[in-house]
């Protein structure tokens, strides 16, 4: 067998190939850990984005502690706002504690239907509250008791307007205004009501005597008239401490009771009308006698005539004085002339 050179070459090649096979790894080596799995993307203009290693890993969501309210724990407290410029601050709403305005700045008015007249007319009253009123010092002012005394409802209306426009003059007071105590008499132009009864002689105060004198038109019995009954209920419900009843034309102040006297002197200091404890004739069954018997201070203010403007101008300050007068205050000294 010839052992030629070609055979030797083949044998050497085979041995070399076997050795190369034995040195090849069966599993390719893992890529180095530091190398990114994928290269960072490159923007079209050639700028590269930040490599992923520079992005902070997302923080875990804040978990409130058990038992605490679910507040945004991660949000830092807001820094205090800088004060607004003065001009802007003036337009902003005031803080709540500065919205509490003095009581004198608000007058609340409501109209109350307190009854019906003998002929079915409404008996109405205005309730004016100046702030939070002192309900132990309520003043009630009646107009229109006698329908032929034509100035009194107009004075009530002027007083009502004045009180609403001038709250600083009567702080923390409640005023009750009845423009027409006897609306039937006003409509008829008569002193008496629609049944020819004088309301100011119909109250259950000395009425027996009045019943014997027919000229007083006192009615068939005490408090027989719906107007009288409605006023009695009104006094029981609203508890006025002071009453002023408007009439004409005697031009004086006629008081009943100690508080009534104090009221008359408070008023005459402004309107200079003569003060009288006795009008000069008996008034059985009158509102004055009824209030005197029930501890309510009352003054009958008699105007000089039937001009409401004149009567208002003369008595405006006296109304303010009597509304502000505290019950049971000592009467003012009157100048001796």
Footprint on this chain of Zn ion (rule: CB under 5 A): 146, 149, 247
Shortest Cβ distance from residue 244 to Zn ion (Å)? 13
Q: What is the largest CA-CA distance in the chain?
A: 182
Q: Exposed, middle or buried: residue 161 (CB in 10 Å: 0-12, 13-18, 19+)?
A: exposed
Shortest Cβ distance from residue 290 to Zn ion (Å)? 15
| Identity of the residue, 146 or 174, whose beta carbon is nearer to Zn ion in the bound complex | 146
The token pair at 280 is 């000069």
Shortest Cβ distance from residue 152 to Zn ion (Å)? 8
Shortest Cβ distance from residue 144 to Zn ion (Å)? 10
| Angle ∠(320,282,177) on CA atoms, nearest 5 | 25
Omega within 30 of 0 (cis) for the link into 95: no
Q: DSSP 3-state assignment of 33?
A: coil
* Residue of closest CB approach to Zn ion: 247
What is the distance between the alpha carbons of residues 153 and 246, in angstroms, rounded to a whole number? 9
Residue 279: which of 259, 305, 253 has the closest Cα?
Answer: 253
Shortest Cβ distance from residue 149 to Zn ion (Å)? 5
| Identity of the residue, 129 or 302, whose beta carbon is nearer to Zn ion in the bound complex | 302
| Identity of the residue, 121 or 146, whose beta carbon is nearer to Zn ion in the bound complex | 146
What is the distance between the alpha carbons of residues 113 and 97, in angstroms, rounded to a whole number? 37
Shortest Cβ distance from residue 201 to Zn ion (Å)? 11
Shortest Cβ distance from residue 105 to Zn ion (Å)? 37
What is the distance between the alpha carbons of residues 218 and 212, in angstroms, rounded to a whole number? 9
DSSP string of 273-310, one letter each residue: PPEES--SS--TT-HHHHHHHTT-EEEEEE-SSS-HHH
Phi, psi of 131 (to 5 degrees): 70, -140
* Beta strand pairing call for 174-178 and 252-256: unpaired
């Amino acid at each position: 067998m010839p052992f030629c050179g070609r055979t030797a070459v083949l044998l050497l090649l085979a041995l070399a190939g076997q050795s190369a096979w034995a040195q090849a790894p069966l599993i390719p080596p893992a890529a180095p850990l530091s190398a990114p799995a994928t290269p960072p993307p490159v923007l079209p203009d050639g700028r590269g984005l930040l490599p992923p290693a520079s992005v902070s890993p997302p923080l875990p969501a804040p978990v409130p502690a058990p038992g605490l309210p679910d507040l945004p724990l991660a949000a830092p407290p807001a820094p205090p706002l800088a004060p607004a410029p003065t001009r802007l601050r003036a337009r902003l709403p005031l803080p709540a504690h500065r919205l509490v305005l003095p009581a004198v700045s608000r007058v609340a008015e409501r109209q109350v239907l307190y009854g019906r007249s003998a002929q079915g007319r409404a008996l109405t009253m205005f309730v004016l509250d100046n702030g939070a009123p002192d309900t132990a010092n309520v003043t009630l002012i009646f107009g229109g008791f006698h329908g032929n005394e034509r100035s009194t409802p107009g004075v009530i209306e002027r007083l009502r307007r004045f009180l609403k426009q001038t709250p600083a003059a009567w702080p923390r007071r409640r005023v009750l205004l009845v423009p027409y105590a006897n609306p039937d008499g006003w409509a008829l132009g008569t002193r008496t009501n629609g049944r020819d009864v004088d309301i100011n002689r119909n109250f259950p105060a000395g009425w027996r005597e009045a019943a014997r004198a027919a000229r007083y038109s006192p009615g068939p019995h005490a408090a027989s008239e719906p107007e009288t009954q409605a006023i009695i209920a009104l006094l029981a419900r609203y508890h006025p401490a002071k009453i002023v009843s408007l009439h004409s034309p005697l031009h004086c102040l006629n008081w009943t009771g100690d508080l009534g006297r104090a009221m008359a002197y408070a008023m005459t200091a402004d309107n200079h009308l003569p003060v009288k404890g006795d009008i000069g004739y008996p008034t059985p069954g009158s509102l004055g006698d009824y209030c005197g018997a029930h501890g309510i201070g009352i003054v009958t203010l008699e105007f000089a005539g039937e001009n409401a403007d004149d009567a208002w101008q003369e008595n405006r300050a006296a109304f303010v004085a009597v509304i502000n007068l505290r019950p049971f205050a000592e009467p003012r000294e009157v100048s001796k002339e």
